[in-house]
């Protein structure tokens, strides 16, 4: 049968469905999960015991209609926080949802889980494993409250690969760390973030028992590639976003310090608004590097590039740098910020976007 694993928000006030998902996955390691139910418009977060009861009611109703146990269902919610879950409406809609289930309804599912998203997000890859064609397909939603661990996002990736169930937790964690935990839009961490990986185990090849085998590596690469495509799609659809920015930090002592610097840049409202305005006020990037929390960072070793434009050398403005060149890059819809720390060989990449007037408008009007 299918095997399921997941990772969830690190927000300590996680939503009722996240609490239930964790409990249901812990019960049997995810080997008995047979159904997912997702609602949008209501996060069922900040709702206390009542929220748990309502989410459990939805799980029980779906289980009853599918001949399952309630603990074989994983619930997910996304939307407004601290509002009562309309569980009766969700339960009433279950028969129609079940009747319309089809194996190829990925596009409909991607559209159905949208909130402030402007377009559905889906990705798929095929890979040859043991003489069989294996498919990895996923959908996600999210456009705001995006900050790792994880983001305001729901993500679901499934494969028909015959993967040993015990390997799923490590693979879903690695895929999340290299994708959904590398994105930031506005620095807020949601109460509901969930990333689920499903292996139906139906493909006609021998079971993969190691992710380090040739077959395991092939599947791993496909799962990570699909997850990264879904994560990047969330950034590209960031609320009010007009630019997709890759922040690459190199030359660190370890990956963690590179990631800290990348997030300091990616989270900075001053940096993000400068990119929206195509304003080459790039001292804001240097300032963000300085407050990233790396105690012994040496400014005299810092290098900064915008795409192919060398802006900062040895911690100061490069004499040959011209603002017109910086502005030329900042007017692009896709930009790479590359920072060299000059203290090692580690690197890390984070994906972010700019801040526009529309971001404020969208969030000010969210409930109206």
Beta carbons of 235 and 144 less than 8 angstroms apart: no
* Confidence at residue 368, expressed as pLDDT on a 0 to 100 scale: 45
244-364 CATH = 3.10.20.340
Average pLDDT in the 188-215 region? 93
User: At 152, is the pLDDT very low, low, confident or very high (cuts 50, 70, 90)?
Assistant: low
How many whole angstroms separate alpha carbon 48 and alpha carbon 203? 42
Give the start-to-end residue ranges of the domains of the chain: 3-236, 244-364
The pLDDT value given to residue 12: 86
Query: What pLDDT, in 10s, does the model give residues 31-48?
Result: 899 999 999 989 999 999
- Token pair 């289930």 is at which residue? 101
Distance CA 287, CA 271 (A): 10
Q: Classify the phi-psi angles of 74: left when phi > 0, otherwise alpha if psi is within -120 to 50, otherwise beta.
A: beta
Q: What is the mean pLDDT of residues 269-284?
A: 94
Tell me, what DSSP letter sits at residue 296? T
Supply φ then ψ for residue 79, to 5 degrees: 150, -145
pLDDT at site 357? 84
What is the value of pTM for the model shown?
Answer: 0.89
- One fold for 3-236 and 244-364: no
Catalytic residues: 152
Proportion of the chain in helix, strand, coil states, percent, rounded to 5: 40, 25, 35
Average pLDDT over residues 58-71: 98
Looking at residues 99-123, what average pLDDT do you find?
91
Residue 224 has pLDDT above 60, yes or no: yes
Question: What is the model's pLDDT at position 144?
Answer: 57
Q: What is the pLDDT of residue 151?
A: 40
* Confidence at residue 359, expressed as pLDDT on a 0 to 100 scale: 72
Half-sphere exposure of 306 toward its Cβ, with a 13 Å CA cutoff?
Answer: 31
pLDDT at residue 366 in the model? 55
Q: What is the mean pLDDT of residues 166-177?
A: 96
Cα(152)–Cα(272) distance, rounded to whole angstroms? Answer: 19
Give 296's contacts (C-beta < 8 A, 6+ positions apart).
none
CA angle 250, 349, 324 (to 5 degrees): 75
Choices 3.20.20.70, 3.60.70.12, 3.30.2000.10, 3.40.630.30: CATH for 3-236: 3.60.70.12
Please give the average per-residue pLDDT across 97-107, as a whole number: 94
Q: How far is CA 97 from the centre of its chain?
A: 26
pLDDT at 69 over 50: yes
**In the predicted structure, residue 322 carries a pLDDT above the cut 70:** yes
- CA–CA distance, 79 with 261 (Å, rounded to integer): 31
Which residue did the predictor score with more confidence, 238 or 308?
Answer: 308
Q: Judge whether residue 303 has pLDDT over 60.
A: yes
């Amino acid at each position: 049968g299918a095997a399921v694993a997941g990772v969830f928000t690190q927000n300590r006030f996680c939503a009722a469905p996240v609490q239930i998902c964790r409990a249901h996955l812990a019960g049997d390691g995810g080997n008995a999960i047979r159904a997912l139910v997702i609602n949008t418009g209501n996060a069922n977060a900040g709702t206390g015991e009542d929220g748990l009861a309502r989410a459990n009611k939805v799980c029980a109703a779906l289980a009853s209609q599918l001949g399952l146990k309630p603990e074989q269902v994983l619930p997910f919610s996304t939307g407004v926080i601290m509002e009562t879950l309309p569980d009766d409406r969700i339960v009433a809609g279950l028969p129609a949802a079940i009747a319309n289930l089809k194996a190829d309804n990925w596009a409909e599912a991607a559209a159905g889980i949208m909130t402030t998203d402007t377009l559905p997000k889906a990705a798929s890859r095929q890979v040859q494993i043991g003489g069989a064609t294996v498919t990895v397909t996923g959908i996600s939603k999210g456009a705001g409250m995006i900050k790792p661990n994880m983001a305001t996002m729901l993500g679901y990736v499934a494969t028909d690969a015959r993967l040993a169930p015990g390997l799923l937790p490590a693979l879903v964690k690695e895929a999340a760390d290299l994708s959904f935990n590398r994105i930031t839009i506005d620095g807020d961490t949601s109460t509901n973030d969930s990333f689920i990986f499903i292996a139906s185990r139906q493909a006609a090849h021998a079971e993969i028992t190691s992710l380090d085998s040739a077959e395991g590596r092939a599947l791993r690469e496909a799962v990570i590639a699909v997850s990264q495509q879904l994560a990047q799609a969330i950034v590209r659809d960031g609320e009010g976003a007009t630019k997709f920015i890759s922040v690459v930090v190199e030359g660190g002592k370890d990956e963690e310090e590179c990631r800290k610097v990348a997030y300091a840049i990616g989270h900075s409202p001053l940096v993000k608004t400068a990119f929206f305005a195509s304003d080459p006020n790039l001292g804001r990037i240097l300032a963000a590097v300085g407050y990233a929390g790396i105690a012994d960072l040496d400014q005299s070793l810092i290098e900064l590039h915008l795409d192919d434009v060398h802006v900062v050398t040895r911690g100061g403005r490069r004499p040959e740098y011209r603002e017109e060149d910086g502005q030329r890059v900042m007017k692009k819809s896709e930009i790479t910020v590359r920072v060299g720390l000059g203290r090692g060989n580690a690197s890390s990449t984070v994906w972010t976007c700019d801040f526009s007037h529309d971001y404020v408008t969208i969030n000010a009007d969210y409930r109206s």
